[in-house]
Amino acid sequence: MEATRSFNEVRLYIFLLKAQRIYYPLLAVIAVPVNTVTIGILSRGKCGLSRCVTRYLVAMAAADFLVIILDLILRQIPIAFIVHFLPMLDLPICNVHAVLLHTATDCSIWFTVTFTFDRFVAINWQKLKVKYCTERTAAAVLGTVTVLSCLKNSTWYFTLTEQYAYLNFPWFCAISFEFLESPIWGTVEVLHYFLSPGLPFALILLLNVFTVRHIVAATRVRRRLRAHSGGASPIDPEVVSRRKSIILLFFISWNFILLWAVFLVYTIWFRMWWLGFQSVIIPLFVQEIGFMLQLLSCCTNTSIYTATQTKFREQLKILLQYPIVLIREFNKK
């Protein structure tokens, strides 16, 4: 029975490696233009969103775009097609690449958290909303997160070597066994994954719980008041607006949590295994699934905007129709 399970795990692992040769290039072909279009549409400010929300969403799309470049195109695709990228192994810049990649990834994660907190304030604290939910505050928060992410991830420069290894592990640079078995660097790495994305998971869940509780309570009170007023329209614009805001918030938050969960669990387990905590064995194919889902999260936000925001869909249609309009104008001449 044990041998059969191990054989099936190996087969699934090999299947995923082969599938990645199709999945990763296809994801790159889709993700690069999708995130570029998203940044362009949101930057125009014609989606009916406040400038504060627009700034957060543009920052999230830009961070996702950088992750696609640094992780998917410059890391995962070369690993999947290692034979064709052997010259890259001689480039002495892997630790610099790692710093940039992890910084972009942290920005993508924490921008989601700051957006969630902004919406939490906007929905729960109307008085604070006037001062906090502004474009200026959003710029300051996003700038602070970017600087802190750069400082936090500078440790990768010293932990990893300059040489590429391109092994499909949580890191992709050549390392020593002393690093793997070091309690000091092990603690640093576990702390790194606790801060991103462990702590963001907890914060997003907590903020969403409080937000839902507040919305449910406020909606009940509002319905009672409207019922007592008599003759009011059955459609409450305020409730509709809140519902749209919470749908956008929840889609983005839970998209992040669900697609990052596997990667987080496997990465922490892998590090703890090398530190001697070897009570549980997680199959290697789980890691590949984690990588694939994590990278998928970087190109799903556009689908969320399209599904939840009417004006975003309108702007997307205008953009897609623009080449046809140009051709028609050219033919008329």
Question: CB neighbours of 207 closer than 8 A, spacing ≥ 6?
Answer: 116, 117, 120
Asked whether the beta carbons of 104 and 35 are under 8 A apart, the reply is: no
- Please give the Cα distance from 172 to 163 (Å, whole number): 9
How much is the pLDDT for 215? 78
Residue 230's pLDDT is 57
Task: Quote the pLDDT of residue 183.
Answer: 82
pLDDT at 144 over 70: yes
Q: Supply the pTM of this predicted model.
A: 0.86
Q: Which of 38, 96, 100 is nearest to 71 (CA)?
A: 100
For 32-41, 91-100, 135-144, 174-183, which range has the lowest pLDDT when averaged over its residues? Answer: 174-183
Each residue's pLDDT tens digit, 205-262:
888 888 878 777 777 777 777 666 655 555 666 666 667 767 777 787 778 888 888 8
The sign one gets for the Cα dihedral 45, 51, 55, 60 is negative
187 or 65, greater pLDDT: 65
Query: What pLDDT is stored for residue 221 in this prediction?
Result: 74
Question: Is 91's pLDDT higher than 70?
Answer: yes
What average pLDDT does range 89-111 have in this prediction?
92
Which amino acid belongs to residue 84?
A: H
Given pLDDT bands bounded at 50, 70 and 90, which one contains residue 69?
very high
> For the ranges 22-26, 82-86, 141-145, which has the lowest average pLDDT?
82-86
Neighbours of 145 (CB within 10 A): 19
Rounded to whole angstroms, the Cα distance separating 267 from 192 reads 11
pLDDT, residue 5, reads 62
Token pair of 306 as six digits = 């399209």
Cβ atoms within 10 Å of 261's Cβ, excluding its own: 15
Domains delineated in the chain: 16-322 (1.20.1070.10)
Q: How would residue 333 be classed by pLDDT, with cut points 50, 70 and 90?
A: low
In sequence order, the β-bridge partners of residue 173 are 164
Give the model confidence (pLDDT) of 289-320 as tens digits.
999 999 998 878 766 766 677 788 888 888 87
Q: Taking a C-beta distance cutoff of 8 angstroms, is the pair 56, 122 a contact?
A: no
